[in-house]
Structure 1
Amino acid sequence: MTKLPAASRLQAIADMLRTGEGIGIAAMAERFSVTMETVRRDLVLLEKDGLLTRVHGGAIPVSRAAPLPSRLASLSAEKAVIGKLAAQTATRDGWIFITHGSTALAVAKALNDGPAVSVMTNMPAIAEVLQSGLKHRVTLTGGEYDYANGALMGEQVLEAISECIFDTAIIAAYGVDPVHGLVESSKYLQRFKRLLFERSRRRIFVADHSKFGASGAYVSASLSDIGTIVTDEPPPARFADGFKDAGVRVVYPQKNETNNMEENTNGQ
């Protein structure tokens, strides 16, 4: 790509962030034919303007780091579609863990239209939504309440998970990297989701399209460990080969039907 003037490069980065995607420093340096240090300076300027939040290795749109009430309003229709598709995987009397997150909350809402299930969650709003149906059994993990995420956090959450074996874990993805797999924003969340891997027989990841390519500092699951992702539209083309080689099954709506990019569920 021809090297752009600084102002044009900043505008191009800002436009990419407005699509809801995260950006990586190395990828931007290659794309714009500049050094990684130049990209870092660009991100500092854009962060001062309130257009992004810097994370390890890149940046994410401000909306991804916003408190939960703000995130609930973002891509709400898309999240509702994901919730409906993911909820269809639930079986009667199943023992399910649902992580915190706006997309996970959409799954919980959709579960009220399905069979009775038992759920453990670290998100009080999910417990409230499921109890509104008056047919599900809901357990909260305990822990310290984090307003920004609308979730219970800390060692009590990990201890509660460690005592159980779940039929299914429905896990909200922070970001999906085409090479490294699922990524997280903190070491604690990496531990949290890795523990769910160990304590569940099947894992269903839910992620709207903005999560594909989003940056994160820690890897919680390699591509070969993902199994199934439920999303609202096909992932970018650069994910196709890695997903195929790793046996990742992607479920998304297409013409009122579910289209599976890859039928191999990698044993999940």
Structure 2
Amino acid sequence: MTTVDPITTRETAPATGAPAPSGPSATARRYLMCRPSHFAVDYVINPWMDPTSPVDAGLAVAQWERLREIYLDLGHTVEEIDPLPGLPDMVFAANGGTVVDGIALAVQFRDPQRADEAPAYRAWFERAGFEVHDPKHVNEGEGDILLAGDLLLAGTGFRTAHAAHAQLQEVFGRPVITLQLVDPRYYHLDTALCVLDERTVAYLPEAFSPGSRAALRRLFPDAILARPADAEVFGLNAVSDGRYVVLPVQADGLAAQLRERGYEPIGVDLSELRKAGGGPKCCTLTLREREASK
């Protein structure tokens, strides 16, 4: 898969008065991101991290800026939280919280190396006017909590505690589906599953327990089943607006599967950030406002 220039993508959109394209449709989103100004790999809290491997911090920033540009070119809004020194993983904004219906559930990290990120994100949600709830158990935000239609898909097994799933239902008032992760390489749900739209997901079956695989088959019979080679380059750590799917450029097999279903894949190279176990979705927290009818 070659990287798609977002300007080209924008120019292919129909002119005013032209019929809308068939197939999946895009919805404008509001995202929160954190510039990797202090990015480094100084410790090991997942299988992808190796402090002995060189990291190009400048390249990490440039790759992140490209991701941000793609979102803006697609018509999305990007908010930014200030990066803090000594928190090299703060760039992975998806772990900073879960925001649904104008309500933000703050996070509690499993690892002490990331603990100081939690109050920074919580303070940002308060300043932005969200109703904020404090966590009762370890939960790592949208890393393990993904909204699919009316359902909250909730991962557990490595980071977010299973006990946190009950709080999700109480805070957001939505049904919660527990999904057990079994492969330590896919330690967060968003590394093994991507929500493409309200009815469709893509996921790696091997990353889940037998019972969770069975549940996913029932819930999403038309899901895209990713290949291990694409998951290993964080292809499922993708961001979809319902039509355009921003994913690592290295996941060319998954990109082809998406095209077959009518989605428009946009490749981005986040190879430096992947050295810390992150991809496009890890860098992107969706800020969902309360619906007007509520």
User: Could you say which TM-score interval applies, normalised by the shorter chain?
Assistant: 0.3 to 0.5
More helix by share: 1
More strand by share: 1
TM-score (norm 1): 0.33
TM-score (norm 2): 0.31
Structure with the greater alpha carbon radius of gyration: 1
Larger relative CO (CA 8 A, sep 6+): 1 or 2?
2
